[in-house]
Structure 1
Amino acid sequence: MPAALPYWRLSSFYFFYFCLLGGTAPFLALYFSHLGFSSARIGELVAIPMLMRCVAPNLWGWLGDRSGKRLQIVRFGALCTAVCFAGIFLGHSYTWLALVMAGHAFFWHAVLPQFEVITLAHLGERTASYSRIRLWGSIGFICTVVGLGWLFDKVSLDAYPWALLVIMLGIIGASWWVPNAQPTWHHEHATAGGFLAQLRQPGVVAFYLCVCLMQLSHGPYYTFITIHLEKLGYSRGLIGGLWALGVVAEVVLFLVMPRLLARFSLRQVLAASFLLAALRWLLLGNLAQHLGVLLFAQLLHAATFGSFHAAAIHFVQRTFQARQQGQGQALYAALAGTGGALGALYSGYSWASLGPAWTFAIASLAALAAAAIIATRLKEERT
Structure 2
Amino acid sequence: MTVGPRFRLSFLNAAIFAVIGLYMPFFPIWLESRGLAPATIGWILAAPIVARVVVTAPLLGLTERGLDPRLLLALAQGALVALFLIILGMQGAIAIGLVVVLIAIAQAPLVPTADLLANEAVRADGRLSYGGIRIWGSLGFLACSLGGGALLSGAPVDAAVIAMAALAAVGALASLALPPMRRQVAEAAPAPAAAPRALLWLIAAGAAIQASHGALYAFGSIAWRGQGFSEAAIGVFWALGVVAEILLFWLVGRFASGEARAVMLIVAGAAGAAIRFAALAFAPGLAATLLIQALHGLSFGATHLGMMAALAALAPPGGRGKAQGVFAASTALAMALATVASGRIYPEAGPLVFLAMTPLALAGALCALRARSLMGRPG
TM-score class, shorter-chain normalisation, is 0.7 to 0.9
In the TM superposition, what is the alpha-carbon distance from 1:8 to its structure 2 partner?
4.4
In the TM superposition, what is the alpha-carbon distance from 1:119 to its structure 2 partner?
5.6
Q: 1:115 to 1:305 in 2, by over 3 A?
A: closer
Q: Name structure 1 gaps, 5 residues minimum.
A: none
* Amino acid corresponding to residue 227 of structure 2 in structure 1: L
Q: TM-score, normalised by structure 1?
A: 0.86
Instruction: Tell me what 1:174 maps to.
Output: 174
Q: 1:115 to 1:319 in 2, by over 3 A?
A: closer
Task: Choose which of 316, 319, 328 in structure 2 pairs with 1:321.
Answer: 316
In the TM superposition, what is the alpha-carbon distance from 1:137 to its structure 2 partner?
1.6
Inter-partner Cα distance in structure 2 for 1:170 and 1:128: 24
Task: Choose which of 273, 280, 297 in structure 1 pairs with 2:276.
Answer: 280
Write out aligned runs for 1:60-209 (5 A).
60-116=59-115, 124-125=124-125, 128=128, 131-184=131-184, 194-195=193-194, 198-199=195-196, 201=197, 203-209=198-204
The structure having more radius of gyration, on CA atoms, is: 1
Write out aligned runs for 1:1-383 (5 A).
5=4, 7-116=6-115, 124-125=124-125, 128=128, 131-184=131-184, 194-195=193-194, 198-199=195-196, 201=197, 203-257=198-252, 258=254, 265-289=261-285, 291-357=286-352, 359-375=353-369, 378-379=372-373
For this pair of structures, how many residues does the alignment match? 372
* Amino acid corresponding to residue 128 of structure 1 in structure 2: L
Inter-partner Cα distance in structure 2 for 1:136 and 1:272: 23
Q: 1:295 to 1:380 in 2, by over 3 A?
A: farther
* Amino acid corresponding to residue 26 of structure 2 in structure 1: F
Inter-partner Cα distance in structure 2 for 1:188 and 1:168: 31
- Cα-to-partner distance string for 1:203-260 (whole Å, 9 max, x where unaligned): 5444333233213311111111111111111111121112111111111112232557
- Cα-to-partner distance string for 1:339-359 (whole Å, 9 max, x where unaligned): 1111111101110023221x1
Percentage of identical aligned residues: 25
Q: 1:127 to 1:346 in 2, by over 3 A?
A: farther
Inter-partner Cα distance in structure 1 for 2:17 and 2:159: 19
Q: 1:288 to 1:120 in 2, by over 3 A?
A: same
Contact kept? 2:205, 2:366, Cα under 8 Å = no
Inter-partner Cα distance in structure 2 for 1:103 and 1:190: 32
- Cα-to-partner distance string for 1:168-221 (whole Å, 9 max, x where unaligned): 222233334445343436667779xx41xx44x3x5444333233213311111
Q: 1:44 to 1:119 in 2, by over 3 A?
A: same
- Cα-to-partner distance string for 1:240-287 (whole Å, 9 max, x where unaligned): 11211111111111223255779x754443333212211100111104
Contact kept? 1:120, 1:127, Cα under 8 Å = no
Contact kept? 2:28, 2:41, Cα under 8 Å = yes
Choose 217-226 or 167-176, whichever is displaced more.
167-176
Inter-partner Cα distance in structure 1 for 2:261 and 2:68: 39
Contact kept? 2:116, 2:321, Cα under 8 Å = no
Inter-partner Cα distance in structure 1 for 2:281 and 2:210: 17
In the TM superposition, what is the alpha-carbon distance from 1:373 to its structure 2 partner?
4.2
User: Once superposed, what is the RMSD of the aligned Cα atoms?
Assistant: 2.9
Choose 321-330 or 6-15, whichever is displaced more.
6-15
Partner of 1:26, secondary structure, is helix
Q: 1:242 to 1:354 in 2, by over 3 A?
A: closer
